[in-house]
Amino acid sequence: MGGAHFAFTDRWGGVSAVPYEELNLGGAVGDDPAAVRANRERAARSLGLDPALVVWMNQVHGRDVAVVDGPWRAGAEVPAVDAVVTARRGLALAVLTADCTPVLLADPVAGVAGAAHAGRPGLVAGVVPAAVEAMVALGAEPGRIVARTGPAVCGRCYEVPAGMRDAVSEVVPSARAETSWGTPAVDVVAGVHAQLAQAGVAGGLRSAVCTLESRDHFSYRRDRVTGRLAGYVWLE
Ligand SMILES: [Zn+2]
């Protein structure tokens, strides 16, 4: 039985120029593709991973899950999904974010890992429970799944119109929040952990970092044109 590994990047240590400085890992945000390739390579090596064995998604704020047993075939179109799961040890799953919640999951006993991208739409659509379900289909047990959520915009910063807060909290009551200045807000991280608990995945750890408040992290809401952070999960 091999261990589970979880990692979240910050914005430093890469080669991208302003406004993507420095470690932008997102390929669809306007940055120089050569810089993104170099950054992905650098990040993988720093984690002891083969860059060719990291699976990236084409994220679209939905709830579809891809089951993978290896890297995407060269030249093939990367599927539009917001979660990916695998039963292959040594294969790393990566999720890109800049305020959305990166969710990493692993059942080290079954050897099944999952990564999900949960923004407000993904929370409402249920991408995280869908990822857990896909892992269970591969032999994982919810009670054994270890969960981590990474740097994301916090509930005290994520202001939304009142109607939007109502719509979200109708589906996920735990996501109802208020900004530090007293207006309606959504707490996606709290919502994700409530969904995990409901799926039988308890005790997941959450990053204390709010991307919007941290100058060491990319934040779409703060900067609009900016880079993407990555979360990685893999099993030995
Ligand atoms: Zn915050």
Read off the pLDDT of residues 31-73 as tens digits, 9 standing for 90 and up. Answer: 999 999 999 999 999 999 999 999 999 999 999 999 999 999 8
Q: How far is the CA of 208 from the centre of ligand 1 (A)?
A: 10
Q: How far is the CA of 152 from the centre of ligand 1 (A)?
A: 8
- What is the pLDDT, as a whole number, of residue 189? 98
Q: How far is the CA of 179 from the centre of ligand 1 (A)?
A: 9
- What is the pLDDT, as a whole number, of residue 2? 65
Q: Global pTM?
A: 0.97
For residues 26 and 96, the answer to whether their CB atoms sit within 8 Å is yes
- What is the pLDDT, as a whole number, of residue 53? 97
Q: Residue 115's beta-bridge partner residues?
A: 84, 104
Among residues 230, 13, 98, which one has the least CA distance to residue 21? 13
Q: How far apart are alpha carbons 52 and 89 in whole angstroms?
A: 14
Q: How far apart are alpha carbons 176 and 198 in whole angstroms?
A: 17
User: Other C-beta atoms within 10 Å of 73: how many?
Assistant: 7
- What is the pLDDT, as a whole number, of residue 177? 98
Q: How far is the CA of 167 from the centre of ligand 1 (A)?
A: 21
Q: How far is the CA of 210 from the centre of ligand 1 (A)?
A: 5
Q: How far is the CA of 62 from the centre of ligand 1 (A)?
A: 24
Q: How far apart are alpha carbons 63 and 205 in whole angstroms?
A: 22
For residues 82 and 60, the answer to whether their CB atoms sit within 8 Å is yes
Q: How far is the CA of 156 from the centre of ligand 1 (A)?
A: 5
Q: How far is the CA of 11 from the centre of ligand 1 (A)?
A: 17
Q: How far is the CA of 92 from the centre of ligand 1 (A)?
A: 29
Q: How far is the CA of 213 from the centre of ligand 1 (A)?
A: 5
Q: How far is the CA of 235 from the centre of ligand 1 (A)?
A: 31
Structure tokens, 111: 């050897």
Ranges in the chain, pLDDT < 70: 1-2
Residue with tokens 């779409």: 220
Q: How far is the CA of 54 from the centre of ligand 1 (A)?
A: 30
Q: How far is the CA of 144 from the centre of ligand 1 (A)?
A: 30
Rounded (10°) angle between helices 127-137 and 188-198: 30
Q: How far is the CA of 99 from the centre of ligand 1 (A)?
A: 10
List Cβ neighbours of 82 (8 Å cut-off, separation of 6 or more): 57, 59, 60, 61, 62, 63, 64, 65, 116, 117, 118, 122, 127
Q: How far is the CA of 65 from the centre of ligand 1 (A)?
A: 29
For residues 103 and 115, the answer to whether their CB atoms sit within 8 Å is yes
Q: How far is the CA of 211 from the centre of ligand 1 (A)?
A: 7
Structure tokens, 181: 């200045």
Q: How far is the CA of 61 from the centre of ligand 1 (A)?
A: 21
Q: How far is the CA of 223 from the centre of ligand 1 (A)?
A: 14
- What is the pLDDT, as a whole number, of residue 225? 98
Q: How far apart are alpha carbons 72 and 89 in whole angstroms?
A: 16
- What is the pLDDT, as a whole number, of residue 41? 98
